[in-house]
Amino acid sequence: MAVLFVKGRRKIINLERPTFKDILEARNIICQYLPQTPLYTYPQLDQLLDAKVYVKHENHMPTGAFKVRGGINLISHLTSEQKKREW
């Protein structure tokens, strides 16, 4: 369950766990608008964890955060009527 605040009003919505198919669909939508986030390695971290570790810095996104991905995906699933509605 999630709580949204729209025009100062509290609105509760049910959220379902995304499926793998949902994730792939979201990736196909998001990649049209945002660049891929680069992966970096850090030898000291690899050594500390005894594994090859890749770090994805979401702060390298144009907005400085990963949340823009969710916003793009959400807007892409709105109906035409919802897109016209004033929030």
Q: What is the pLDDT of residues 33-61, one digit of tens each?
A: 888 888 999 999 999 999 999 998 877 77
Distance CA 34, CA 30 (A): 6
* 24 pLDDT tier (thresholds 50, 70, 90): very high
Q: Model-level pTM?
A: 0.56
Distance CA 77, CA 86 (A): 16
Q: Which of 12-21, 30-39, 62-71 has the lowest mean pLDDT?
A: 62-71
DSSP code at position 50: T
Torsion sign across C-alpha atoms 1, 6, 69, 43: negative
Predicted confidence at residue 41, as pLDDT, reads 95
Of 26, 16, 11, 14, nearest to 87 by C-alpha is: 11
